[in-house]
Amino acid sequence: MNPVDAAYLMLAAAASPRLIQKSRSGWGERLGITIEAKPSRAERPRVLLHAVSVGEVNALRSLVPLLAQDAEVLVCTTTDTGLARARELYSQTASVHRMPMDFSWGVERFIARVRPDVVGLVELELWPNLIAACRRRDIPVAVINGRLSERSFDGYSKARRMIGGMFESLSVAAVQDEDYADRFRAMGARRIEVTGSMKWDAANLSTDQDAADRLADQLGIDRTKKLIVAGSTGPGEEELLHEACPSGVQLLCAPRKPERFDGAALALGDCVRRSTGEKREGATRFLLDTIGELRTAYELADLVVMGRSFGDQFGSDPTEPAALGRATLIGPSVGDFLAIVGTLEKAGGLARSTRRSLGSDLERLIRDDDSRQKLADAASACVRENRGASGRHAELLLTLAAMTKRRRGPEVAG
């Protein structure tokens, strides 16, 4: 057992009362006891992409098909929701598995079995034992779609002496913008490339009007009245939106986390919950307490409000409604999405608000069709102009994988 394992065990012991309360599956895979991933085949390079949760998994939507043209792709994720989403998106083009927790014994067995030629860590998931296992096998590790928020950078900087080695050992950090590049450089990363954000590529530009019509009909949404859709809402935001929503306007809220569904229903008062299959004519409040339908709900929106941006959280990703050409408003707390929000705002494709001004901002935008249309047009144009990062990441990963294949020479996979 190494010092990292010991630290993990102490953290697990401290968190055990909370962990016991949560229903979790796949413990064999989590601990690296059960490894279902197949060994690699020698003829094609193998690219392992580690995307911890749903947001990172979604960011790979354009990258995985590009890589699959020339390589075996293994998508690994940590959370149950991330695993379900990865299987939904990539089961036809990649092998999808749960990544073991970062205990040395599980990670070592996993890496030894799958033998990747390169590992891509999506956004910023620097796990000490995973990186060490790859380093021992001379497997290049790259951060892709990299971002390091000011908040995270402040925390990492305080532990620079302990964790700086992980940044230094990266083969490359492919980051979203120059601000992130500066932070990675300050942490010790040696090779940094600014490749842009894959979230622009992952944003689906197509629409499904039939699915949107079905959702509206099943909930009882009145298509003749305006609808505000609030996506990925956080604590306290449903009540805030309920009170700020203009008179005569319908409101649909989609909480970010399933464990908040019941509380959100209480905050919205007499609302129609999607999970019940209920349909009530004349209702004005709706709760999307299901997984995988938010994008469809965005298609119904006259105005989208991005959640987790009006409290003490750090924002949500506005690229999806922007790509659909929906006028979008976001609050002041956007620390996790500064680059994307800044780009959209500079292009005139995103409106800003505060808790204090939310009511008047919603009233103004929902009544002004021209203003909403200008926001929507600028947003969709901005998404199109910023696409292309997935291709740059694919080229980078395949180049690193090819170098590994050449070093290893002819081999027979076991």
Q: Which CATH number does the domain housing residue 122 bear?
A: 3.40.50.11720
413 within some domain: no
Contact 299, 225 (CB under 8 A): no
Residue 242 vs residues 87, 230, 251, 253, 324: alpha-carbon distances, Å = 35, 10, 7, 9, 24
Are 153 and 216 found together in one domain?
no
Are 123 and 264 found together in one domain?
no
Distance from C-alpha of 124 to C-alpha of 175, rounded to nearest angstrom: 10
Per-residue pLDDT of the chain (414 residues; tens, 9 = 90+): 676 666 656 666 655 555 555 556 666 666 666 666 666 666 789 999 999 888 899 999 999 999 999 999 999 998 888 899 999 999 999 999 999 888 888 899 999 888 999 999 999 888 889 999 999 999 999 999 999 988 889 988 888 888 888 999 999 999 999 999 999 999 999 999 999 999 999 888 888 999 999 999 999 999 999 999 999 999 999 999 999 999 999 999 999 999 999 999 999 999 999 999 988 889 999 999 998 899 999 999 999 999 999 999 999 999 999 999 999 999 999 988 988 999 999 999 999 999 999 999 999 999 999 999 999 999 999 999 999 999 999 999 999 999 998 887 765 444
- Where in the sequence is the domain holding 308, given as residue range(s)? 209-385
**Residue closest to 145 by CA, chosen among 313, 394, 334, 380:** 394
Are 145 and 75 found together in one domain?
yes
Are 183 and 157 found together in one domain?
yes
Task: Report the CATH number that the domain containing residue 268 is assigned in CATH.
Answer: 3.40.50.2000
What pTM value is reported for the model?
0.80
Contact 71, 401 (CB under 8 A): yes
How many beta carbons lie within 10 A of that of residue 303, not counting itself?
A: 24
Greatest alpha-carbon span in the chain: 70
Q: How many domains does the chain have?
A: 2
Are 86 and 217 found together in one domain?
no
14 within some domain: no
Residue 196 vs residues 120, 180, 192, 244, 396: alpha-carbon distances, Å = 15, 11, 12, 36, 13
Contact 156, 149 (CB under 8 A): no
175 within some domain: yes
- Under DSSP, is residue 281 helix (H, G, I), strand (E, B) or coil? coil
Which residue in the block uniquely carries the two structure tokens 């006028």? 327
Distance from C-alpha of 332 to C-alpha of 328, rounded to nearest angstrom: 14
Are 77 and 224 found together in one domain?
no
Which residue in the block uniquely carries the two structure tokens 């965005």? 298
176 within some domain: yes
